[in-house]
Amino acid sequence: MARFLVLRLGLIVLTLFVISLAIFAVTEVLPGDVATQILGQGATPENVATLRERLGLNDPWPVRYLGWVGGAIRGDLGESLVQRLPITEMVGPRLFNSMILASFTFFVAIPIAVAVGIWAGVHRNSFGDRVASMTSLAAISLPEFVTGVVLIIIFSTTLGWLPSSSLVEPGTNPLTRPQILVLPALTLTGVMFAYVMRMARANVIEVLETNYVRSAVLKGIPMRSVIWRHVVPNAMLPTISVISLNVGWLLGGLIVVENVFSYPGLGRLLLTSIQTRDMPLLQSLSLLIAAVYAISNLLADLTYTWLNPRIRFA
């Protein structure tokens, strides 16, 4: 276990290093100039050149890259070029808000999706299975912003049950008004539920047709025990891969959903950094999302070994 963790953590560090290079290279070639954005209509070539020099934008790219990476290793993500605030202070509250929304979505969507997928796989071709499959296809087909607008029209404009905006007042916690989380969470739940449910259903059907499950049934073992002791643990292995991938998708989906509902989270801050060409903020947010994605894959591998002892850490 210790050797496995050391190797995987080393691989994560190497992966993040390569990703940091890619992020820095991409942001270097993005069009636009943060100095021009800051100065606005009063920008002149002289003012832009002076501001670029003051912000260190004229330094060679290796110097700027090493300064950024070195600061990130020390826990210092630098300073926003536009807002002139420490990035750590800006990211902290937004990350907390996004984690609340993501956790609310994850712990609602995943258990329901897995349960429905198992039930649909066991009751293959039943009426309930067809309804679940058709619903999941519809959820996959609709983009998040379309689903969000439809939910706003139904539950906010027409019925008036929930607020259409998920604004959080400065210094307050989204949990003080949990109703603002419902529509964004439902929007994110749709696609995640569909992918996980369909994967769980397909895996259950595949495992039910294996020889060891048939042997267990022929031995007279109750079907409930066969499902929970033999079918579910083996069917969950590929499903966990989809769940870990959906963690990365969830962070990306937050960008769209948070802007649809004006939710002050990490995704909205990322879009703002792109619009204002705030490169240090954009680079730090992208690296943070990559780190979360890498850690989620590590947790998925650890879960494999827990569900299937035949998988060794080596």
Residue 218 half-sphere exposure toward CB, CA atoms < 13 A? 6
Q: Which residue has the tokens 């998920």?
A: 166
Q: Tell me, what's the pLDDT at 277?
A: 78
Q: Which residues pair with 86 in a beta bridge?
A: 79
Considering only CA atoms, which of 95, 84, 89 is closest in space to residue 264?
A: 95
pTM over 0.85: no
Q: Which residue has the tokens 């069009």?
A: 31
Query: Predicted confidence band at 37 (pLDDT cuts at 50, 70, 90)?
Result: low
Of the candidate ranges 26-30, 71-75, 152-156, 196-200, the one whose mean pLDDT is the lowest: 26-30
For residue 111, give both structure tokens. 């258990």
Task: Tell me how far apart the alpha carbons of residues 217 and 151 are, in angstroms, rounded to a whole number.
Answer: 45
Q: Tell me, what's the pLDDT at 224?
A: 83
Query: Predicted confidence band at 215 (pLDDT cuts at 50, 70, 90)?
Result: confident
What's the rounded mean pLDDT across residues 230-243?
Answer: 78
Of the candidate ranges 45-59, 147-161, 196-210, 274-288, the one whose mean pLDDT is the lowest: 45-59
Say whether pLDDT at 251 is over 70.
Answer: no
The residue among 309 and 305 whose pLDDT is bigger is 305
Task: Tell me how far apart the alpha carbons of residues 166 and 262 are, in angstroms, rounded to a whole number.
Answer: 6
In sequence order, what are the residues at sequence separation of 6 or more whose Cβ sits closer than 8 angstroms to the Cβ of residue 34? 55, 57, 81, 82, 276, 277, 278, 279
Give percent helix, percent strand, percent coil of the chain, each to the nearest 5: 80, 0, 20
Say whether pLDDT at 245 is over 80.
Answer: no
Domains and CATH numbers, the chain: 2-73 (no CATH), 93-307 (1.10.3720.10)
Query: Predicted confidence band at 41 (pLDDT cuts at 50, 70, 90)?
Result: low
The residue among 83 and 247 whose pLDDT is bigger is 83
| Helix/strand/coil (H/E/C) assignment for every residue in 206-259 | HHHCCHHHHHHHHCCCCHHHHHHHHHHHHHHHHHHHHHHHHHHHHHHHHHHHHH
What's the rounded mean pLDDT across residues 235-250?
Answer: 73
Between helix 144-151 and helix 232-260 the angle, nearest 10°, is 70
What's the rounded mean pLDDT across residues 258-276?
Answer: 82
Q: Tell me, what's the pLDDT at 22?
A: 86
Say whether pLDDT at 312 is over 60.
Answer: no
Share of the chain above pLDDT 70, in %: 88
Query: Predicted confidence band at 3 (pLDDT cuts at 50, 70, 90)?
Result: confident
Say whether pLDDT at 314 is over 60.
Answer: no
Q: Tell me, what's the pLDDT at 64?
A: 79
Residue 190, judged by CB atoms within 10 A of its CB (0-12, 13-18, 19+), counts as buried
Q: Tell me, what's the pLDDT at 203?
A: 87
Say whether pLDDT at 311 is over 70.
Answer: no
Say whether pLDDT at 148 is over 80.
Answer: yes
Q: Which residues pair with 79 in a beta bridge?
A: 86
What's the rounded mean pLDDT across residues 161-177?
Answer: 78
